[in-house]
Amino acid sequence: MSADTAGIDTLRLTAEEAAGLLERGEVSSAELVAAYRAAIEARDPELHAYLHVTDDEHAGDGGGVPIALKDVITTKGVPTTAGSRILEGYVPVFDSTVAARCKEAGLPLLGKTNLDEFAMGSSTENSGFGPTRNPWDTTRVPGGSSGGSAAVVAAGLAPWSLGTDTGGSVKQPASLCGVVGLRPTWGTVSRYGIVAFASSLDQVGPLAKTVRDCARLYGITAGRDACDSTTVELPAPVELPEREDLRGLRVGVPRELNEVDGIEPGVRERVQEAIRLAEELGAEVGETTLPRSVEYGLACYYLVAPAEASANLARYDGVRYGHRADLNGDGDLTALYERTRWEGFGAEPKRRIMLGTYALSAGYYDAYYGQAQKVRTVIKQEFAAAFEDFDVLLSPTSPTVAFPLGDKVENPLAMYLTDVLTIPPNMAGLPGLSIPCGLSEGLPVGLQILGPQFSENTLFAVGHALERALGFDFVPPRLAA
Among 301, 302, 369, 403, binds another protein (CB under 8 A): 369
Smallest gap, in angstroms, from Cβ of residue 198 to another protein? 8
By the rule CB under 8 A, 80 interacts with another protein: yes
CB-wise, 138 or 321, nearer to another protein? 321
Interface residue with another protein, options 57, 248, 261, 333 (CB under 8 A): 333
Residue 480 contacts another protein per CB under 8 A: no
Residues 402-441 that bind another protein (CB under 8 A): none
Nearest to another protein of 227, 347 (CB atom): 227
Q: How far is the CB of 96 from another protein (least distance, A)?
A: 6
* Measured CA distances, 394 to 20, 82, 175, 255, 274 (Å): 32, 31, 14, 10, 9
CB of 377 to another protein, least distance (A): 13
Nearer to another protein, 79 or 135 (CB): 79
Q: Does 362 bind another protein (CB under 8 A)?
A: yes
Considering the candidates 84, 123, 127, 145, report the single residue annotated as catalytic: 145
Sign of the CA dihedral with 299 first, then 303, 305, and 309 last: positive
CB 422 within 8 A of CB 168: yes
Please list every residue from 261 through 320 that binds another protein, using CB under 8 A.
307-308, 310-311, 313-315, 317, 319-320
Nearest to 98 by CA among 234, 221, 226: 221
Angle in degrees, CA 218, 212, 258, rounded to 5:
85
**Residue 470 lies near another protein (rule: CB under 8 A):** no
Q: Which of 169, 293, 395, 398 is catalytic?
A: 169
Tell the smallest beta-carbon distance from residue 322 to another protein (Å): 8
* Closest CB to another protein among residues 302, 387: 302
Check: CB of residue 458 under 8 Å from CB of residue 250.
Answer: no
Binding mask 83-122 for another protein (x = CB under 8 A): ----x--x-xxx-x--------------------------
CA-to-CA distance for 271 and 318, rounded, in angstroms? 48
CA–CA gap between residue 400 and residue 172 (Å, rounded) = 10
The answer to whether the peptide bond before residue 145 is cis (omega within 30 degrees of 0) is yes
Of residues 165 and 391, the one with the C-beta less far from another protein:
165
Is 145 assigned a catalytic role? yes
CB 169 within 8 A of CB 145: yes
By beta-carbon proximity to another protein, the closer residue of 161 and 310 is 310
| Angle made by CA atoms 181, 224, 79, in degrees to the nearest 5 | 60
CB of 226 to another protein, least distance (A): 7
Return the number of the residue (71 or 467) whose C-beta is nearest another protein.
Answer: 71
Instruction: Determine if 321 is a binding residue for another protein (CB under 8 A).
Output: yes
Which residues have CB under 8 Å from 329's CB, separation 6+? none
199 is catalytic: no
Mark the segment that binds another protein (CB under 8 A) among 131-139, 215-223, 361-369, 439-447.
Answer: 361-369
Instruction: Sort strands 250-254 and 203-208 into parallel, antiparallel or unpaired.
Output: unpaired
Q: Given candidates 100, 115, 196, 402, which one binds another protein under the rule CB under 8 A?
A: 196
Quick one: which segment of 207-215, 272-280, 355-363, 420-428 binds another protein (CB under 8 A)?
Answer: 355-363
- Residue 321 or 454 with smaller CB distance to another protein: 321
Subset of residues 126 to 185 that bind another protein, contact rule: CB under 8 A: none
Q: CB of 142: closest distance to another protein in angstroms?
A: 24
Q: In what order do the strands lie in the sheet with 392-396?
A: 50-53, 109-113, 67-70, 160-165, 203-208, 180-183, 432-440, 443-450, 392-396, 250-254, 284-288
Cβ–Cβ under 8 Å, residues 189 and 98: yes
* Per-residue binder mask for another protein (CB under 8 A), 211-230, x = binder: ---------------xxxxx
Nearer to another protein, 265 or 329 (CB): 329
Write out the catalytic residue numbers. Answer: 70, 145, 169
Which residues are near another protein by CB under 8 A? Answer: 72, 74, 80, 82, 87, 90, 92-94, 96, 191-196, 198-200, 226-230, 307-308, 310-311, 313-315, 317, 319-321, 333, 337, 357, 360-362, 365, 369
